[in-house]
């Protein structure tokens, strides 16, 4: 019995779920939020950088800012719940976050303003394939994947 309690304690620590109202939350960009001093990077996805642009029908479009604003709009004044997974190399918490039962990561990828970060996870590949098949978001534009954009800088 003590082994089970210890295992549950470890599991709870690793995957601690917490909730916060949106008024205590700041959206940093399309895949990162801040709750108090804690920076939370959405695991398994990669959104365009804030300064990143795309081209839609020969018009330059600020797709990085749009991704951030889409996330702000989705959260609105609702409660956000996150499941912590680990830390990244920059000390940010890696987590999947939700509004109700809706995964914010899945939402952003399906809308075409974030991508499955296949280097680290295969969790959101189906969402990306959906967005691509529908021509959602950046899939209807000329763009660089965020990881390629960062490599150019």
Rounded Cα distance, 32 and 151, in Å: 19
Rounded Cα distance, 34 and 26, in Å: 5
Active site residues: 41, 49, 92
Rounded Cα distance, 117 and 119, in Å: 5
Rounded Cα distance, 54 and 66, in Å: 11
Length of the chain, in residues: 153
The dihedrals phi and psi of 55, each to the nearest 5 degrees, come to -120, 120
Distances (CA, A) of 77 to 10, 26, 105, 113: 32, 11, 18, 21
- Tell me if residue 30 falls in helix, strand or coil: coil
């Amino acid at each position: 019995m003590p082994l089970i309690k210890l295992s549950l304690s470890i599991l709870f620590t690793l995957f601690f779920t917490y909730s916060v109202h949106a008024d205590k939350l700041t959206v940093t960009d399309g895949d990162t939020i801040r709750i108090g001093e804690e920076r939370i990077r959405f695991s398994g996805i990669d959104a365009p950088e804030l300064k990143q642009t795309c081209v839609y029908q020969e018009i330059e479009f600020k797709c990085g800012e749009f991704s951030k604003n889409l996330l702000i709009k989705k959260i609105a004044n609702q409660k956000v719940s996150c499941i912590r997974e680990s830390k990244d190399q920059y000390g940010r918490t890696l987590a999947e976050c939700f509004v109700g039962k809706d995964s914010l990561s899945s939402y952003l990828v399906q809308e075409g303003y974030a991508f499955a970060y296949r280097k680290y996870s295969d969790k959101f590949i189906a969402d990306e394939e959906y967005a691509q098949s529908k021509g959602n978001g950046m899939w209807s534009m000329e763009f660089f994947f965020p990881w390629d954009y960062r490599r150019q800088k």
